[in-house]
Amino acid sequence: MMARPEPKSITFTIDGLEVEAPENAMLVDAAKLGDIEIPVFCYEPKLGNPVGACRMCLVEIEGIPKLQTGCSTPVKDGMVVHTQSERVRTAQQAVVEFLLINHPLDCPVCDKGGECPLQDITFGWGAGSSRFIEPKRHFVKPLELSPLIAIDRERCILCYRCVRFSQEIAEDYQLVLLERGAHSYVSTFDAHPYVAPFSGNIIELCPVGALTSRPYRFRARPWDIEGAGSVCTFCPSQCNVTLTVRDERVLRVLARDHAEVDDGWLCDKGRFAYQSIHVDERITEPLVRDGGELRAVPWERALQEAASALARARGKVAALAGGQSTNEEAFLLARLMREGLGSERIDTLAGVAPAKQHQLARPDLQAKVSDLEFADTVLVLGSEPVDDMPIVDLRIRKGVRRRRVKLALATSRPSSLDRNARLALRYSPGCEGAFLRALALALAGEDCQTPAQAAGAEGEQVRQLAELLRSGGSDVVILYGERMLAQGSAVEGLLRLASMLELSGRDGAGMLAVPAAGANGRGLLEAGFAPGYGPGLQPRPTASDQIDLTAAQLGAHAMAGGLSSGELSAVYLLHADPLESALPRAQWSHALAQASTVIAHASFLTEGVRDHATVVFPAQSYAEKEGTLVHPDGRLQRLRPAIGKQGQTRAEWSVICELAKRCGLDLGVLTGPMASKQLFEAVPFYAALTLEEIGGRGVRWQERDAAAGFPEPPPLEAEEPPAALPSPNGALRLGSFRSIWAATEVRVSPALQFLHPTQRVEMAPADAERLGLAHGETVRVSANDSSVTATVTLRDSTPAGSVFLEEGLGAHSANALAGAMVEVRKA
């Protein structure tokens, strides 16, 4: 295992105080260990190596004639440092005076006022007055740096943080410093808007009020607000956040640094989609379909309608849960279905059999998020991190940039990480199983040419990948898109890969899934919301009257069939709309139309809810909820309510309990924590866990003693063979992806709306040329009498013969097409 830095401890003297610190820690950090603060502006360890630009941290070190920057001086044993000497004080006051020369001092009307490092440092280390009487520098202000960020260049102290973030963290290379000297200013080339998935982080990085959030501008002052820690549930990254709350409204989302989860960054969806909590579109009262229309009704009526419909549908009811459901909600709904309504038909939107997930969820194979940074080699398999689990994208970039992690990509769709990778390999969409077979052969040193071709990949590249994985060092982390498990032979392939690379039990290596079921995909499985699996991945006892049904017959696909055929009459949707998911659209559209009862917990009237729900319960947003989630690496994290309930919303757990009671089942849950307690007791590998133990930083169950309670997966059942590559016949093979912006929360948030995508078909330039299509042209993509309209987007490294369409866009989504082979024609 590549050793993570474990510095030895040294002793140095600062302001006459002997302080112990890790060797080579920067002085500004080491000083904190002695409770001494050295002021900084440009220094931010998250941004990488110090640049020493602002000169605020000058200190005196005995034996060195010039003052030194504390941000860039590693502390050594026996070093004697002064931060309060006359020389240092003069220099500090001088730098503050210099910085304020061109600063407008408009603190009373500045968003940053009250939480501004420049204010604090001026008070703490400045001289108190300025001798500068000349006119200050002026800029037009504020300007839109982007629709999300306003820039006030007069306030800027040119610390370079935002530029460094853009250049070295997000690597979008958009922000630059233009002009020179006192005329320098931050901008993008040609003043294009700075639009990027992680742009909002620069607002938080800015040590003055130069970069402010446009949605937050003038909404509150720091003394009006409170911070509430929670976890973002918009994607599986589950970033730790602090919600800024004023008068029961969430006004802002800030990062709550957690090195094992988010590394202190947020994506713009996580940062700005809080707006969806307070928009008018949000459902805040119970609705019941009456005369074909959804109408607002009192809770009693909605509960009564739902309970009696469920009771009528006993044994003929199914449930689907979305990724934003908490463990407790899923756990209680599973109990209601199984114990109260006699139905085993529960599933997520993942489209993956839980038995397959079970094989790969083993603790000995589990990698942590931080392993991505410290591994020898990282293989990204069948996932585009920036879309699927955005914050991991930054973590991978960090590993490659700072620790020279060898990155390999094996995906069908071109990736934004391509240029960071040692090797970027493409196979045809849906050919993961075949590709993994070829890779296994290559790893065994055998010829892989023909199997590689069967996956639409190049044999030589597969061989190179095998070489990289074998010789690149023993710590290999595989980040894989869980959706691929639906492909034949994929599980077998991944397990074989893990065993050939000896990943089992190796600290710092292993596998990390990007859950197919959404943010809390792993939690849903572990809470027992899976066909054929109870809490803790325990197979369901055979006493149930539906036991002769296999997991596949209980799962989502069979559910759609059952609803269509009348075998099932009711479906319960917990934060789930099948029409917004990747499940086959036509099939589910029909199924929902046929169902006599559709009960939904929803925040917005998405298509499936709007057109088909018979009872709608207003759902809580993550800012109102309590409960737990499970991060893809097994970390249990806790949601804490930041604001009171909005409108007439009620906690999902209490609604489920109420329905259960009316159906004759007492779930025994009176509070949120009681639900958590039941869950922890039901899952063997959560044994003795408490909410207190999870706390604010979460806890990985794999690291607790109870992990031994993880049930060993049964021997892998024979999987279906890998899909064969159909002969092209001029048709193109369809792959799909879901953009980071294709989410309801993005669509309804005013600030983010402009990012909500329209359908585009990504294709290789060669295919476009053959079909006579140009970039930007509108086309119809069709398969078996179904078609969608899209705009042609040419991407260089798209594998020839394949096209990619987006999901999550309603009628024009990839899943509206009935078939894997498509034709593309001019519209």
Partner 1 sequence: MSTTLLLTNIDEPGLCTLPVYQRRGGYDSLRRALAMTPEEVLHELEASGLRGRGGAGFQMGKKVSFLPKGSMDKYLVCNADESEPGTFKDRELMQKTPHTLIEGIIIASYAAGANRSFIYIRGEYQLQADILDAALREAYDAGFVGENILGSGHSLSLVVHRGAGAYICGEETGLLDSLEGKRGNPRLKPPFPANQGLYQGPTLINNVETLSTVPTIIRMGGEGYAKLGVQTSTGTKLVSVSGHVQRPGNYEIELGIPAREIIYGLAGGPTPGRQIKCWFPGGSSSPVLTAADLDVPYDFDSLAKAGTMLGSGAIIVVDDSTPIINVALKVARFYRHESCGKCTPCREGTNWTVKMLERIDSGEATPMDIEIMASVQEHIIGNCLCVLGDAMAMPIGSMIAKFREEFEAHIAAARARRGLGADDAQAYSSALAAQGAAAVGAGPYPGGS
**Binding-site ranges for partner 1 (CB under 8 A):** 49-56, 58, 66-67, 69, 72, 90-91, 94-95, 97-99, 101-102, 129-134, 157-158, 160, 176-177, 179-184
For residues 714-740, one letter each, b for 16 or more C-beta atoms within 10 angstroms of the residue's C-beta and e for the rest, the string is: eeeeebeebbebeeeeebbbbbbbbbb
Q: Judged by CB, which is closer to partner 1: 64, or 774?
A: 64
Q: Closest approach of Cβ 202 to partner 1, in Å?
A: 18
Q: Judged by CB, which is closer to partner 1: 137, or 812?
A: 137
Residue type, 246: R
Output DSSP code: residue 336. I
Per DSSP bridges, beta strands 175-178 and 185-188 are antiparallel
Q: What is the DSSP string of 13-46?
A: EETTEEEEEETT-BHHHHHHTTT-----SS--GG
Q: Closest approach of Cβ 53 to partner 1, in Å?
A: 5
Q: Judged by CB, which is closer to partner 1: 8, or 183?
A: 183
Q: Closest approach of Cβ 430 to partner 1, in Å?
A: 41
> Cα dihedral angle (718, 720, 725, 730), rounded to 10 degrees?
180
Q: Judged by CB, which is closer to partner 1: 127, or 665?
A: 127
Distance in angstroms (rounded) separating the CA atoms of residues 817 and 809: 12
Q: Judged by CB, which is closer to partner 1: 140, or 182?
A: 182
Distance in angstroms (rounded) separating the CA atoms of residues 159 and 144: 20
Largest CA distance in the chain: 87
Q: Outline where DSSP puts E strands in 692-801.
A: 699-700, 732-737, 760-763, 778-783, 786-794
Q: Judged by CB, which is closer to partner 1: 157, or 519?
A: 157
Instruction: Compute the half-sphere exposure of residue 271: CA atoms within 13 Å on the CB side of its CA.
Output: 27
Q: Closest approach of Cβ 124 to partner 1, in Å?
A: 17
Q: Closest approach of Cβ 171 to partner 1, in Å?
A: 15
Q: Closest approach of Cβ 180 to partner 1, in Å?
A: 6
Helices and strands counted in the chain (H then E) = 26, 36
Q: Closest approach of Cβ 220 to partner 1, in Å?
A: 31
Count of C-beta atoms within a 10 Å radius of residue 261: 24
502-506 contacts at long range (C-beta below 8 A, 24 or more positions apart): 502/474, 503/365, 503/476, 503/478, 504/362, 504/364, 504/365, 505/364, 506/1, 506/474, 506/475
Q: Judged by CB, which is closer to partner 1: 27, or 54?
A: 54
Distance in angstroms (rounded) separating the CA atoms of residues 214 and 464: 47
Q: Closest approach of Cβ 63 to partner 1, in Å?
A: 15
- Give the sheet arrangement for strand 317-321, strand by strand: 293-296, 287-290, 615-618, 597-602, 570-574, 317-321, 346-348
Contact in structure between 33 and 23 (CB atoms under 8 Å): no
Q: Judged by CB, which is closer to partner 1: 66, or 291?
A: 66
Q: Judged by CB, which is closer to partner 1: 94, or 500?
A: 94
Q: Closest approach of Cβ 402 to partner 1, in Å?
A: 13
Q: Judged by CB, which is closer to partner 1: 88, or 333?
A: 88
Residue 589 CB partners (closer than 8 Å, separation 6+): 579, 608
Cα dihedral 598, 337, 693, 634 sign = negative
Q: Closest approach of Cβ 601 to partner 1, in Å?
A: 53
